Amino acid sequence: MKLFADEDDEWAHSHRIDPAIPMHRHFEMSHPVPAIRSSLAFQPASPLSIVHGACRRAVSRRALVLKRPRRLSSVPPKRTMTNSHFKFSSVDAIEWLQKPITVRGIVQHGFGRGSRDLGTPTANLPGSLLDDVHDAERDGVYLGFGRVPKYGRRVVKMVANIGRNITYGDVIDRVLEAYLMADIFDPEFYGEEMRLCIIGFMRPELKFNSLQQLIEHIQNDVKVADAALDLPRTEVYRTHTSLID
C-alpha cells in the first residue's frame, strides 16, 4: 500500500497538487469559469415563445422548399443542331383536307428571304385572308395548286407556309407564303392577283436552330409536295373552279 501512496505523492508533487484538496477542486481552480452576464442568465421559456419559435422554423423550412427551382418533365429539352430532333415531312404523313381551302389575294411585299436566303422565292398573301377558315387555323406547311392570271391559265404545283416565320422571330402577323413550282414567273410580281387551292397539311411550323436546318426541311417539303401532287387523288383540284374561273 505504501508503494502506491508514494507513487501518488510523487505524481501530485510533480503536478503541484495538494493531496489534501479533492481533485475536482484543483480542476475548478485551474480552469476558472467566467461570470455569466445577468442578461444571458437562463430564463425558462414560456409556452407561447416555444410555439412561436416552432412556427417560425416551420415557415422558414417551407420558404426554402418554395424557393427551390421546379423541374417540369413536360418541358421539352433544348433542341440540338441535329435534324434528328425534327421530323421531316413525308407523303404518308400528309393530312388531306376534306374540303380545299381556296384563297385569292394581291401579292404583297415580304422580307425577300425566300429567294435571298432560302433558294425558294415565295409570293406572299396576308394571313388575314384565312381568319375565318377553320382548316387553316394551324400554322404550318400546306400543299396544293396555284395560278397567277397574269401568266395565263396554267395551274402549277404549290407548297405554302402559313405562320409567322418563328425561326426568324420577327414576324407579328400571320403570312401565307406560297412557292409556285414553275419557272414561268418573274422574280417579282408584286401587286398581281394570285389564286391558291390548298388541299393538304404537311407538317407544323417549326423553330429551327440554324438556317441550314430550315433550308433542308424546305427542300424536303418541296420534294414531298411535288411527289404527292402527282397522286390520282389530287388531279381533280388542278381544274378547281377557284383557280380557273
Contact 201, 115 (CB under 8 A): no
Q: Which of 177, 188, 192, 216 is catalytic?
A: 177
Beta bridge partners of 201: 95, 142
Is 216 tagged catalytic? no
What three-state secondary structure class fits 106?
Answer: strand
Contact 167, 187 (CB under 8 A): no
Helix runs in the chain, H state only: 2-14, 23-30, 47-67, 113, 211-228, 241-244
The DSSP call for residue 118 is I
Nearest C-alpha neighbor of 167 from the set 204, 205, 208, 203: 208
Beta bridge partners of 197: 102, 145
Contact 244, 153 (CB under 8 A): yes
CB neighbours of 83 closer than 8 A, spacing ≥ 6?
Answer: 213, 216, 217
- Separation between Cα atoms, residue 62 and residue 52, nearest integer Å: 15
Cα dihedral sign, 40-46-48-51 = positive
Catalytic center residues: 177
